[in-house]
Amino acid sequence: MSSENNLEIATGCPVFVEISDTSEKLKSRIVGHDQQNFVIIACPRSGTCNNKSWQPGANVVIKYVHDGVVIAFQTPILNSIQAPANLLFLAYPREITRQNLRGWKRYQCDFKGWLPVAGNDLVGNVLDISMGGCCISISSETLGAAEIPEPGTAMELTIQHPENNELAKLPATLSNSWVTGNTRKFGVAYQSLTSEQERQVKDLIFVALHI
């Protein structure tokens, strides 16, 4: 973690907005900023800023991913406008936290995924994900009598993005597998991801932040 007060921002970057005193997480995007002065985001919740949640002085928490780093900060609302667009002006944060995804921190999730076992792509649930690998669970009923691959086996893991249904096809090797109840869990490690595949993994982690 770091508390350096230079904010990394890209216009159009998707963000999550958490309203103070609630657990609600709303989607928005960065519209612009003035370094050390203010940050501008599109108003969440149907695009309207005309309600008490967005009054000046109300605190919000902003979270987003920039260049492989999860950035988060809490700050009060300065003002809102409805024309020419519904926008929120936020005070520039005094403290910013950063967590490097390249450290391979695992994030809990529930994504649909497929893993090749005995020549067949078997459907399962991706239970956690990181920039280095993930864990996918497949039911014993789905596995049937299929021969379980050995650790070190090369395979292509597929994960479905839960919002746009994009399929991330990721080269990987099997790290280990174990039985839990009526499922078998597989730990897999990615191998030599392209820049596009890295983007897909980062997008999945971004979704996992608010599950």
CA torsion 85-86-87-88 (nearest 10°) is 160
Of 72, 62, 73, nearest to 31 by C-alpha is 62
Percent of the chain scoring above 90 in pLDDT:
42
In this prediction, residue 36 carries a pLDDT of 86
- What does the mean pLDDT of the chain come to? 86
Confidence band for 46, pLDDT divided at 50, 70 and 90: low
Beta strand pairing status for 69-81 and 59-66?
Answer: antiparallel
Average pLDDT over residues 52-59: 85
State the residue for tokens 């300065």: 78
Question: 39: which 2 tokens?
Answer: 């940050």
Rounded to an integer, what distance in angstroms lies between the CA atom of residue 17 and that of residue 31? 14
Average pLDDT over residues 36-60: 82
Contacts of 210 (CB under 8 A, 6+ apart): 16, 25
11-15, 22-26, 29-33, 51-55: the lowest-pLDDT one? 22-26
In this prediction, residue 106 carries a pLDDT of 84
Neighbours of 71 (CB within 10 A): 21
pLDDT one-digit tens code per residue, 75-107: 999 999 988 888 999 999 988 888 765 567 788
45-54, 84-93, 106-115, 145-154: the lowest-pLDDT one? 45-54
In this prediction, residue 47 carries a pLDDT of 60
Buried b / exposed e along 133-165 (16+ C-beta atoms within 10 A): bbbbbbeeeebeeeeebeeeeebebbbbeeeee
48 phi, psi to nearest 5 deg: -110, 135
Rounded to an integer, what distance in angstroms lies between the CA atom of residue 23 and that of residue 109? 17
Q: Which residue has the higher pLDDT, 52 or 158?
A: 158
